[in-house]
Structure 1
């Protein structure tokens, strides 16, 4: 008698808790997430204290956490969640003001995995919020450890293993390009601190963020990296020692003004559901700098940057990616690594020292 193959085990839904002092907002987010396949809202709470009580008695993968709440606010709750439940991922949710952006940025450094701006008025804003939140919950929830009985999944093609000694570029870089998303701000601060006092090449950075956040990120990078760093302005000349951040809502690309490389900003349609997106920056930098372009893809969900890395490699340029173990989400670096064209896969703490060595290498 022939035995039938065992039925495939369906992965369990990602379990989410929504924390917000507004019953209207809680209801909105609950409905958004409940409509998504593979996501289950298992709890909600009106403040951080109630959220911690729920975490003590339920298995939860992702918490969507408001900032301003009575009794215990989001920042205080985050510190307790990180300390008591280190496996839980937290997405900070706030209205898009500078104050809330500053708090959200602080939350990222305290252990929050991501942030999202609460929906704007109108159906279009609500739908965009629903799609973004669902994508972030899926990406972060997928990082939860698999049960011991479950074999690790494999995705083809298999990317290269992390290397302590990546292949060096063929020429000394003329520009360094960095792309990042989920988990990017804390990773960037560590990287720029490691580059302090070195690397005279200009740095072009695209981080998936709203406008208010990109301005704050530039300020933070200026302080920690001790190099001028600002949101790019259309027509900016690309100068050595400077860092240019793609402003939220704008693609940042590279062009020539005579012999001088300059930055161009546009509001062309989103690429990979993002604006700013990494691909346009890498693609146009490859055209202008050729073999002198060096790319770095850091932690982030999705696959933005992979096509740009391929364009970079075709133009004779070079790129490396952050490894999976040190990434919050190994989407973008994993997709770039899977092209088979990466010069190396490095832990975050090794990327800075490697860039310091490579930036001064002889042609």
Structure 2
């Protein structure tokens, strides 16, 4: 059975281009198109597609407003198309916060080395996020939360809802326990679904977080500055796009710049960041493996690391290096991931010591650091 796709864009050329690419995939079928956000909402409710591709800037109703209405009435996996500009980055982040699962640049040549690679990437992304449709629909109807229901039980597991609308079965509600290890660095790697996941975790950390945080998010070069600024405005800790020569400071999160690689040099307590060219042969820029491996060499067993939602297996080898050095590696659990690729690679390799639901990762971090 083919996966049904609704294509939304005010450009007839782009609608046709995206439709041709999607229809060329054996398991995908464009069932209709919409020329603005209002029409997209109407057709989403009537046709119940498996996936929607959505432009941001459209007449009558913009894509962000359409995402909000669709996610409220008929939760559906949505892939946004965005311009690679600062304003485009801000709008895309708004769309992700509204409920869209992923995004791609409107200029396919910005994300691929050739036409075939761009075609495969779009088809793969559509199929990947389509797998989340059933779980999103399953949680569409929410029961009202009473004061009694809101209280955490101490005898049974609790169920929460992730930013994607998926049910996230939490660990037993009894409190976590610290391993007793000491740390000097936190490192987090993620990709698809990462912007929302990072926001959910980082906004719960206190301003006096005891050591530096490295963030490696697969993201275009023009997006990372806007993303760091958004996180900084929402968090108690400081969040900045990492710059070459930055000295690592406690309570500061450093986001790897898109299109580049972030490494560390020096010694614990006086380490600094080096930002290097992404490299033509590297699949990911920034790459989680590169940063994790660099952290393992300098900080050895003093790193608290985690791999969050994302497609592929980036982070597995870097996490392996961290574990070999004695550091701690956690992975986000399958139920709360937008795409269970990167965390699955770490978990299947036996590298992660704990697999955690997104809504409890911040709590687990603070307990591990004895902050609660």
Q: Within 5 Å, give how 1:218-233 maps onto structure 2.
A: 218-233=228-243
Output the CA distance in 1 between the equivalents of 2:193 and 2:69: 20
Q: Which has the higher contact order (CA 8 A, sep 6+)?
A: 1
1:251 and 1:237 map into 2 onto residues whose CA distance is 16
Residue 259 to residue 321, structure 1, CA distance change in 2 (3 Å) = closer
Question: Closer, same or farther in 2 for the Cα pair 1:246/1:352, shift >3 Å?
Answer: same
Residue 116 of structure 1 aligns to a residue in which SS? Answer: strand
CA deviation profile, 1:191-247 (whole Å, cap 9, x unmatched)? 111112342210000011112221111112212222222111122222222111011
- The two structures have a TM-score, normalised by structure 1, of 0.85
Conserved in 2, the CA contact under 8 Å of 1:228 and 1:243?
A: yes
Change (3 A) 1:180 1:257: same
SS of 1:260's equivalent in the other structure is coil
The answer as to whether partners of 1:270 and 1:276 remain within 8 angstroms in 2 is: no
Number of positions where the alignment pairs a residue of Structure 1 with one of Structure 2: 334
**Aligned position for 1:5:** none
- Paired position in structure 2 for 1:303: 313
1:16-165 matches, within 5 Å, as 16-86=5-75, 88-119=76-107, 124=113, 126-145=115-134, 163=171
1:168 is displaced (CA, Å) by 5.0
CA distance in 2, matches of 1:192, 1:270: 32
Give 3-state SS (helix, strand or coil) of 1:42's partner.
strand
Secondary structure of 1:349 counterpart: helix
**Paired residues of 2:319 and 2:346 also in contact (CA < 8 A):** yes
1:274-285 correspondence to structure 2 within 5 Å? 274-285=284-295
Quickly say closer, same or farther: Cα 1:44–1:163, change in 2 above 3 A.
Answer: same
TM-superposed deviation, 1:36: 2.6
Q: Measure the CA separation in 2 of the matches of 1:353 and 1:297.
A: 16
Alignment of 1:342 onto 2:352: yes
> How many Å apart are 1:270 and its aligned residue?
5.4
Q: In 2, are the aligned partners of 1:295 and 1:320 still within 8 Å (CA)?
A: yes
Q: 1:218 to 1:307 in 2, by over 3 A?
A: same
Give 1:163-174 correspondences, 5 Å limit.
Answer: 163=171, 168=178, 171-174=181-184
Please point out which of 268, 279, 294 is paired with 1:268. Answer: 279
1:82 and 1:258 mapped to 2: Cα distance? Answer: 45
Structure 2: runs of 5 or more not aligned: 136-168
* 1:217 partnered with 2:217: no
Take 1:124 and 1:191, find their aligned partners in 2: how far apart are those partners?
Answer: 34
Structure 1: give runs of 5+ residues left out of the alignment: 1-11, 147-160
When normalised by structure 2's length, the TM-score is 0.83
- The CA deviation at 1:169 is 5.0
